[in-house]
A and B are shown apart, each in its own frame.
Chain A
């Protein structure tokens, strides 16, 4: 058992799976000798060689398309798109090909690939490096969208993503890459996809989040506890397909729900969860579902990002509003 950061957990999972399965290859810009711009692939090239840890030309559509070709031809490719803003280019390949190949060939072909990309703001990065594209990916049929929020879950979910027989878009919260460490056993045990994780149990309100906003949501729950409010905290982890049952069951107990995301508000994934609660959980709700989201604005350049990312105060304010209702 070692105490490691989230980005080290990504690295550990990649290493484990490349060791276990000779079909796993890693590709992307600067993933080889450089070990990736965030060092997620550090040491892989030395260990597994440049044929399996592939420095690609600087071409995102190529990376996504090649990954699809490799996966169909029997490899288990894990591609890295260097920054979230560059991932928009690859949506064409994911929606038109990765998500459809199994379906349109009636199961004759499959596309067992992982597309990793760091997401979210909060590290004073250049423009186009701080996006939260999860809802765009979650809209795509035929794929999975996973967004871990801790080293242990990052390790287990990445193993699951690589072993999954279908395409997985694996979003990584840049802000959490080195925020904290956790004990992670390199035991090769994958976590379940398609399921939420209840991180904290509570009876007064359900806080739902994923990826980079989870630590802030947990911090809000801590502070609420000091004021006698017991918040249940759910990490969605796999956004698509969504485990709505866990969220519905929690809200059936608490009667109140606040959904927290760093993405802009309109058509956000928080909206999807709120709609699901309205459709199937209305009679269990004691208050309207609150969404805590970014504003419908362009991700600001870094001097304003702290005012853009919803913080603990906004989460607590939303909880208070939900508690005050009725």
Chain B
């Protein structure tokens, strides 16, 4: 018997939960200004998240999926991507979206049940949120194929959760991306829970990163609570994709500090002890400690930042609340490039506030 294939999966971390540097920092992280910029984004994400939950609890938006605990994944991915790359994401990636120019008002509109929230003024080519799990993994392969066909140095970045790696769409997309060496990066946020199903019951695989191996692509694992680690992995994966080296699967290990959504109650299926332990590993604290110890951050800056973020979030929430709801004809607008004749009567019925029969 001979061994015909071997593989190993590397895990990387630069900042430990206590803010200590555990291996030499990559070049970008030696500049404290760059790290402060990432820190500011992460704090804004948390302020946004808290506001969104408050809006839901007071009946001002619909069900909301919190990104609490995932700020480092968001900041790492969002800061690494180029403007004309394309982001395809789930409902828990609002942080990357805001870094790419989606406004907080648009995000609130979306969660408030208004499709105008997906008409991003900033990243015009980014996809809207993908709710059907892992379907967008196949879209990302198509986007990347188009980029490669046109010889563009652009990359499709597809973000998914740990549960998504159990889906056929995920495997089909990964396999095809490998087969054509497509310029695509798959980022799996492994936050340990797919609603109530823990990571251990999702798959017997030791890592989710190793699912890349079967597709013949690069796979690695990073500490998803370490923004430096996520950013560094993204930088390498994006550079490889742009250079024609093909796809990468990055598994970012983190923890969902929130319920699945505001419609969920995680205390039904996981212990307070587990949650408390996860809070000790969260991503913002370690970066703050590191920045403070390196003299780049202090209490005054922290207070000013919190005030600024809260004001920004509050203004966006108010702008959303002040936006009149869409009118009935918007159900028909943009259904097709040009509304087919067959739908004109239905549109007229909708416009007449349903006083006409739909015939």
Contacts and interface: CB of A to CB of B under 8 A. Distances in A.
B336 A65 contact: no
A114 to B, nearest CB: 14
A62 B342 contact: no
Interface residues of B, number: 45
Given A73-B147, A241-B341, A65 B118 contact: no
B138 A66 contact: yes
B143 A73 contact: yes
A61 B133 CA distance: 13
Nearest to B152: A73
Interface residues of A, number: 48
A165 B135 contact: no
A98 to B, nearest CB: 10
Contact of A62 (B88, B118, B138, B340): B138
A104 B118 CA distance: 7
B138 A103 contact: no
Contacts of A102: 334-337
A243 to B, nearest CB: 7
Interface stretch (B1-9, B19-27, B168-176, B267-275): B168-176
Interface stretch (B48-56, B120-128, B253-261, B306-314): B120-128
A142 B140 contact: no
A54 B35 CA distance: 43
Contacts of A226: none
Contact of B335 (A73, A92, A141): A141
A59 B172 contact: yes
Contact of B135 (A54, A65, A105, A244): A65
Given A70-B146, A72-B139, A242-B342, A62 B176 contact: yes
A73 B125 contact: yes
Given A59-B176, A62-B176, A106-B115, A74 B138 contact: no
Nearest to A95: B132
B203 interface: no
Given A52-B149, A93-B135, A280-B359, A104 B128 contact: yes
A73 B135 contact: no
B138 A65 contact: yes
B329 interface: no
B145 interface: yes
Given A61-B168, A65-B137, A65-B173, A244 B342 contact: yes
Contacts of A96: 132, 135
A72 B340 CA distance: 21
Contact of A194 (B130, B333, B342, B359): B342
Q: Is the interface of B mostly helix, strand, loop or mixed?
A: helix
A77 B142 contact: yes
B179 interface: yes
Nearest to B336: A166
B141 interface: yes
Nearest to A64: B138
Contacts of A241: 340-343
A194 B135 contact: no
B57 interface: no
Contact of B336 (A64, A74, A142, A245): A142
Interface string A73-104: 11101000000000000001100110001111
B83 interface: no
Interface string A37-72: 000000000000001101011010110111111111
A25 interface: yes
B97 to A, nearest CB: 13
Contacts of B142: 65-73, 77
Contact of B141 (A52, A66, A244): A66
Most central of A96, A106, A194, A242 by chain B CB within 10 Å:
A106
Contact of A69 (B116, B139, B359): B139
B337 A166 contact: yes
A20 interface: no
B293 interface: no
Interface string A153-177: 0000000000001100000000000
B337 A165 contact: yes
A108 B333 contact: no
Interface string B106-121: 0000000001101110
A107 interface: yes
Q: Which 5 residue pairs spanning A and B have beta carbons closest together?
A: A69-B142, A65-B138, A66-B142, A241-B340, A241-B342
30 contacts: A54-B145, A61-B172, A62-B138, A62-B169, A62-B173, A65-B135, A66-B138, A66-B141, A69-B138, A69-B140, A69-B141, A69-B142, A72-B125, A73-B86, A77-B142, A96-B135, A97-B130, A97-B135, A97-B139, A102-B334, A102-B335, A105-B115, A106-B333, A107-B119, A108-B120, A108-B124, A194-B341, A194-B342, A241-B342, A242-B342
Given A25-B149, A65-B136, 18 more contacts: A59-B176, A62-B169, A62-B172, A65-B142, A66-B138, A66-B142, A66-B145, A67-B142, A69-B145, A70-B143, A73-B143, A101-B128, A102-B337, A104-B115, A105-B119, A106-B333, A142-B335, A194-B341
Interface of A: 25, 51-52, 54, 56-57, 59, 61-62, 64-75, 77, 92-93, 96-97, 101-110, 141-142, 165-166, 194, 241-245, 279-280
